[in-house]
Amino acid sequence: MNTTEKVLFTKKLNELAINDELTGINNRRYFNEVMKRTFDMFQRDKVSFCILMLDIDFFKKVNDRYGHDGGDALLKSLACTLKESLRDIDFLARYGGEEFIALLPNTEKSDAFIVAQRVRLAVEKSIVQHGTQKIRVTMSIGGGEISPGDKDYESVIKRADVALYEAKNSGRNKVVIA
């Protein structure tokens, strides 16, 4: 392997380490690294942040109706929609399956609600063309804000996850901020 090939190979490995292979956005592992640094900054500087957990409503029905390639097309398209709907300072990642997560730095929960509603509406309005068919979905979003009593960033993620399930259990296509 020559020097150019080694450089390209190293670059590709670095991309795979931080990006989700399907959607091209950040992956969960890299999100956790960023969260650790963000939590450390919170402990030092007391800078507020919020987490949004975003889950596609009834994603299994999409896979059942359009096949896994239809589900993949939807995930790729929604990753773009989410990125475009979030602010430049926000950090988006695929958290697993049909679930995404966003870090909203320097954000309190009232502003997180506004951001989450904008994202939810953008997803609701989006149409994914898959062959001759159009796929439409909605998204439920749960949010959590860092609290002075939090011992780690996982506490915020857990609050956001509980809020997400509250959004799903109260009818879906909703935003709930803990």
pLDDT band with cut points at 50, 70 and 90 for residue 152: very high
Identify the three-state secondary structure at position 171. coil
Note the pLDDT tens digit of each residue in 28-69. Answer: 999 999 999 999 999 899 889 999 999 999 999 999 999 999
Note the pLDDT tens digit of each residue in 75-124. Answer: 999 999 999 999 999 999 999 999 999 999 999 999 999 999 999 999 99
pLDDT value, residue 72: 97
Other Cβ atoms within 10 Å of 16 Cβ, number: 11
Whether the per-residue pLDDT at 12 is higher than 80: the answer is no
Could you tell me the CA-to-CA distances from 178 to 53, 172, 173 in Å, in that order? 11, 16, 16
Asked whether the whole model's pTM tops 0.95, one would answer: no
Q: Which amino acid is at 139?
A: M
Annotated active-site residue 98? The verdict is yes
d(CA 147, CA 164): 18
pLDDT value, residue 143: 98
d(CA 81, CA 9): 30
For the chain, give the percent of residues with pLDDT over 70: 94
Structure tokens belonging to residue 65: 């109706």
Average pLDDT over residues 14-22: 81
Note the pLDDT tens digit of each residue in 47-58. Answer: 899 999 999 999
Nearest by Cα to 90 from 52, 142, 56:
52
d(CA 172, CA 155): 23
pLDDT value, residue 1: 80
Residue 37 near residue 153, CB atoms below 8 Å: no
Choice among 5, 21, 84, 98 that is catalytic = 98
Q: Tokens 């942040």: give the residue.
A: 49
Average pLDDT over residues 20-27: 96
